[in-house]
Chains A and B, each alone.
Chain A
Amino acid sequence: MTRLLLISIIALIVSITFAIFLFAVLRRYFRKKAFSRLDKSRERYGPLVDSVIEDPATRSIEELRAEDGSPDWTAVEEALLKAMEKARAQRYEKIYGLFEALGYVDGYIERLKNGKDWERAVAAERLGAIRCGRAVPHLIEALKDSFRDVHNMAVYALGLIGDDSALPAIVESFKHGIDDFEDVSLRIVKSALLSFGERSIKVLRPELKNPRWRVRAAVVDVLGELKDLAVVEDLMLALKDPEPDIRAKAAKGLGTLAHPAAVKDISALVDDPYWVVRLHSVRALGLIGAPESVDVIKQKLLDSNWQVRRAAAEALGRMEEDALPVLADVLMNNHDRYAREQVVEELERIGMVKRLIGRLVEKRDEVREDAEQTLCALIINGALSPIINAMESEGPEIRRRIIEVLKRAGGERAVDIVRDALEKDPDPAVKQEAATALEALQPR
């Protein structure tokens, strides 16, 4: 290698490094100036935009007119978008009128049609943000765009605008997304359909008969998320679909709607051969909370799948007092350890153990006795953490009663808690109770 070549390489690297330095410093300098100009424009146009919206009679719209692409143009656009975000429905029109009058809408549509990839996507997003009704045909056209982000933004914008004429195109996009998720995000399309609310039902309903089960499943999913009682019958029909995924989604949707008419049909699915169907059916029954389904859910505490067992415990826990006797019965009489553990977890999660501890000083004998009995079963099944917490935080009478329950329950950990009370409890009556309990608990 010649010396000249080496020097040239070194000089080149040093020059590039120096150029980077210089470029970075100069860029920062010019960017700072540009941002400073933009900040000034923001300061000027922010209040001006507000006053034009508030009081168009005294303020001329011409004051907001600026050259496309200038800092003033950007500042006005930002202020209008911010106003649009905060505005209530009756002011939308007024603000939208300003977007139109100042040429922003034409600019966005032009960019959506002829801009570069990113410009088209930004334009689509902006047209949605300002709820531009006249852009709908252009946005529908943009659903065919080869650039994925434009497609996504166009769907999103159409959802925001909420013009019914776009619904068939969105449904087509939805079906297309099921086949080719690389072209469009199915979640964005679903989000757009949900934006239409009940109006999307009539275009989605025919797709429930679509021969492709994936389409039917996706439609059932959206219908369930709509949370509209008008879809109850559709979802109940879908409960009988041969595809397990559709049955599961239909049960889930009916659970979200919490419609009591569905209890019977959903109850029929708790023994479905597919665990996901059983899981969603049990969850749905819990969400509906019909007392007649308590026994059906109880059986699922013994399901072969632990997720179904957990869902059953959660469903019963959700029903709280209605399900308490059933849960207590599982604790006391069920031979399945997993079912009992699941019930303990759920009763602790929903704060029922704490409530039961509070009932130990209840005046009504039957309430107190039920609480004692259930707590005893809980302790036997390992629910000692809330007992330990209560021994540290509750009053002396409750502590004394807890020791009584511990005496009944027995077990090594119960002995430890009682011994701890004997050594550390500040109340003489509690100590006395602990001493008596310990004597009864100690092996002779």
Chain B
Amino acid sequence: MNNIIHSIVSGFNYGVIVYFVAANAVYLFLLFVATVVVLRHLKKLKYGRYQETMQPALALPVSVLIAAYNEEENIVDTVKALLRLDYPSYEVIVINDGSTDSTLKKLIEDFALERMDLVYRPIVHTAPVAGFYVSPEIPNLTVVDKAHAGKADSLNVGINVSRSPYFCSVDGDSILEEKAIIRLMRTIVENPEQVIANGGIVRILNGSIMREGRLEELKLPSDSLSRLQVVEYIRSFLFGRAGWSAINSLVIISGTFSMFQKRAVLAVGGYSTDTVTEDLDLIITLHEHMMDSKERYRILFVPDPICWTEAPQTLSMLARQRRRWHMGLAESLYRHRRMLFNPKYGRIGLIALPYQLIIELLGPVIEIGGYVVVTTSFFLGAVDEKFFMLFLTMAILLGVLLSTGSILLEEMSYRRYPRGRDFLLLLLYGVLENFGYRQINSFWRTQAVFKKIFRKKKWEHVKKSGFKWDGEKQEKGQTHP
């Protein structure tokens, strides 16, 4: 019996090492590819001004959709920022998803909205719409009030109301840069026949100063949790998505800011309302649909820092968010299981989705299992010091290398934190995130896997605290130093 247990433990220990070697090899490959992609993209920006001087008549109209549920803290600033976007032809549609706070009231008051009886045509089936609000002064703003049915349902309402061939989903707690749509539309304008979706980089806004819906001064947050998330976002967006996009196998575009061809999304019936991560599910569904219909298409990541969002500032909120994301990943992979390891779906079926399954979904379980079993084995003498050191090297030391590598890539590319102190802090947190933060993240994600297995599906709403405003200085009419 002891021998059997020993064999199982030993097998698991070696399995953990194999997992870490494989995962890190993929990450290093992605970091390499992303470096090439991002640097190429930056070169391209040198002659990117043409986009801004193109004939406005040829700009493809875009509907910007914001699903807002209890976003009273941020919604007005978000909409103000959206109304200032530098794009010749766009409309903003805010969908109030039955908020129980004053989200709708604030919108009505701040934008002098009036109720209007518009005809609602549910091309995609949705929850009932309660009313439409428009402003005679702001003709490109429409607010739709509806019964609470989740973000996906709200976005589907937005698609139904939208009058443009492209729509862009933006979170209610996010701020877009003025050129955001132009930059995102560039890849579409250059290849409208093939590009059916794309997304940009989302960055963390915590700690920065906002004024009138604009990012006034970008600063690193003062709290450690937000700083760790800043590093994590840089790693995730810069090398994760840029790398996958380069090999046309992107399956995740952040729902915080993404652009879609409406025709393609309508063809798949809009967002799925029975998953907690509708953005991920939509992308996989689009891949499936396009491959099934044998159409040539592209889903791209545009490596431009264009959307700023608020990150959870407490561990409990962060835990909820991460569990929700992970449960969504599990759900989407389960829903699209016929694509997994299926040669019919090419790189998506054979590489991207298996990566999501093995490295992203199950990886945290193996990782947490590894920390427990390998460490226990070491202290019980079942594995030697060399094995344990190899485990730590693979689990932690390579993580430090990847984090600092990402920050170097950020430094070589966008350099959004110009202050030397912020840069050094980023590097420091790039090291620190591998000692506790990554592990606790993996723990939450492991919890999500088990919750999913035991069918405990419950939406975990993440409460955020609102943008930081330079209120006092604003009142005094001073500019921030």
A contacts, CB < 8 Å to B: 1, 3, 6, 9-10, 13-14, 16-17, 20-21, 23-25, 27-28, 118, 121-122, 124-125, 128-129, 149, 152-153, 156, 160, 181-182, 185-188, 190-191, 194-195, 225, 306, 310, 338, 341-342, 344-345, 348-349, 351, 382-386, 388-389
Contact = CB atoms under 8 A, between A and B. Distances in A.
Q: Interface centre among B50, B55, B398, B400, by most A CB within 10 Å?
A: B50
Contacts, number: 127
A355 B424 CA distance: 62
Given A13-B393, A24-B427, A149-B44, A225 B58 contact: yes
Given A16-B401, A344-B117, A385-B116, A27 B57 contact: no
Contacts of A341: 119
B407 interface: yes
Nearest to A338: B119
Nearest to B431: A17
A348 B118 contact: yes
Nearest to A23: B408
B50 to A, nearest CB: 5
28 contacts: A10-B389, A10-B393, A13-B393, A13-B398, A17-B397, A17-B400, A17-B401, A24-B411, A24-B427, A122-B47, A128-B50, A156-B50, A181-B191, A182-B191, A187-B54, A187-B192, A188-B50, A188-B54, A188-B189, A188-B190, A191-B55, A194-B58, A195-B55, A310-B119, A349-B116, A351-B136, A385-B114, A385-B117
Interface string B254-265: 000000000000
Contacts of B393: 6, 9-10, 13
Given A13-B393, A182-B191, A185-B190, A153 B401 contact: no
A317 to B, nearest CB: 13
Contacts of A28: 411, 420, 423
Given A1-B390, A13-B393, A122-B46, A20 B408 contact: yes
Contacts of A1: 386, 390
Interface of A is mostly: helix
Contacts of A306: 121
Q: Interface centre among A128, A191, A348, by most B CB within 10 Å?
A: A191
Interface string B322-338: 00000000000000000
A181 B424 CA distance: 45
Interface of B: 43-44, 46-47, 49-50, 53-55, 57-58, 114-119, 121, 131, 134, 136, 189-194, 386, 389-390, 393, 397-398, 400-401, 404-405, 407-408, 411-412, 420, 423-424, 427
A103 B386 CA distance: 64
Contact of A21 (B53, B57, B131, B404): B404
A27 B411 contact: yes
Contact of B401 (A3, A13, A23, A128): A13
A17 B404 contact: yes
B47 to A, nearest CB: 4
B400 A190 contact: no
B50 A125 contact: yes
A385 B113 CA distance: 12
Q: Interface centre among A21, A121, A182, A382, by most B CB within 10 Å?
A: A21
A351 B116 CA distance: 10
Nearest to B60: A187
Contacts of A125: 46-47, 49-50
Contacts of A13: 393, 397-398, 400-401
Q: Interface centre among A27, A121, A129, A188, by most B CB within 10 Å?
A: A188
Contacts of B118: 345, 348-349
A18 to B, nearest CB: 9
A425 B54 CA distance: 55
Q: Interface centre among B58, B192, B393, B397, by most A CB within 10 Å?
A: B58
Given A187-B192, A348-B118, A6 B386 contact: yes
A351 B137 CA distance: 11
Contacts of B389: 6, 10
